[in-house]
Amino acid sequence: MNKFDYVYTAPTEEQRKEIESIKKEYGPLPDINDGIKELRKLNNKVYLPPRILALTLGVVFLLLFGFGLAMVLNWNEFVWGSIVSVVGIAAMAGNYFVYKIFLTRRKAKFAEQIVSLSDKLLNNDKQ
């Protein structure tokens, strides 16, 4: 005679919440309204290019600063190395302002689309 023995243990409420939060990170995204997807795409079009530009310029200017330090420390070119390092530092400091200007222009470019789509989505939710 075949006999099956099993023990069932249910996770506690705290464990269930933790399991669900981990599952959300790896599982497929829940069904989202197409309007919200479009709004997120537009928002990414605003923020992503300025971030990429700022990170790229930041790395380039950091390398410029490091090259100036290498000129001073390794090649004993104090004057030129100092000039290159100062240019790198100034460019890194100005990078934030380049980011803000580029972001402001992107926001102005997409503002009308984002506001109209947001209003449309908010009005649909109220009905």
46-60 tens-digit pLDDT: 999 999 999 999 999
Asked whether residue 8 is assigned to any structural domain, the reply reads no
Q: What is the 8-class DSSP label of residue 2?
A: -
CA 122 – CA 111 distance, rounded (Å): 16
Give the residue-averaged pLDDT of 87-99.
97
Asked whether residue 47 is assigned to any structural domain, the reply reads yes
Query: For the whole model, what pTM was predicted?
Result: 0.68
Q: Which domain holds residue 64?
A: 33-126
Q: Where are the alpha helices (DSSP H) in the chain?
A: 13-26, 34-75, 78-126
| 125 band by pLDDT with thresholds 50, 70 and 90 | low
pLDDT at residue 98 in the model: 97
List of E strands, 1-107? none
Give the residue-averaged pLDDT of 64-93.
97
Asked whether residue 105 is assigned to any structural domain, the reply reads yes
